[in-house]
Amino acid sequence: VQVLLKLWRNGFSLDDGELRSYSDPTNAQFLESVKRGEIPLELQRLVHGGQVNLDMEDHQEQEYVKPRLRFKAFSGEGQKLGSLTPEIVSTPSSPEEEEKSILNAPVLIDDSIPATKIQIRLADGSRLIQRFNQTHRIKHIRDFIIQSRPAFATTDFVLVTTFPNKELTDESLTLQEADILNTVILQQLK
């Protein structure tokens, strides 16, 4: 860690920090450690046993002037949140809408094996929400759309995941293999 100690007429500062008075006992102890060539305890805690390069600047003829804050770009580390395909976080506009989509095109569910809900946003702006077993295939989603909205039977369309957008081309994959459990699927017309 690189630290810059600036000595002023009325105190000292570390890097571009606040002025520290010479008369404060804690600050006096800090400066005594520096004079003896030791790393002050405060800096030892800061670096957790690592190396400290302490540079000094003598400004003892000047009064301390608080430096203007400089823009410092984000220097942290990013963390990716969530999964590749988001889970359904919105609710249907009404329970009736969900029931209607389930009643329009029944999908046979085996309650003895794991199930998932898929929300399908159709190209006409409407949406369907349906329970499927995790072993159902992407082809079953296509069939469900056509059964629910017969107008799409003669229309050429593809199924796409939301973020990142990925076309589901292999319709023989199970929903689990395609990693689309509890997600939103988009219908896009070709």
Q: Does some domain include residue 92?
A: no
Q: Are 38 and 30 in contact (CB under 8 A)?
A: no
What lies within 8 Å, CB to CB, of 9 at 6+ separation is 59, 60, 61, 62, 63, 64
Q: Does some domain include residue 100?
A: no
What letter does residue 104 receive in the DSSP assignment? H
Domain of 173 in residue numbering reads as 115-189
pTM as predicted? 0.46
Mean per-residue pLDDT pooled into runs of 10, the chain (190 residues)? 90 90 92 88 80 88 81 63 50 51 66 91 88 92 89 87 84 89 89
- Among residues 16, 31, 58, which one ends one of the domains? 58
Residue 24's domain is classified under what CATH number? Answer: 3.30.420.210
Residue 147's domain is classified under what CATH number? Answer: 3.10.20.90
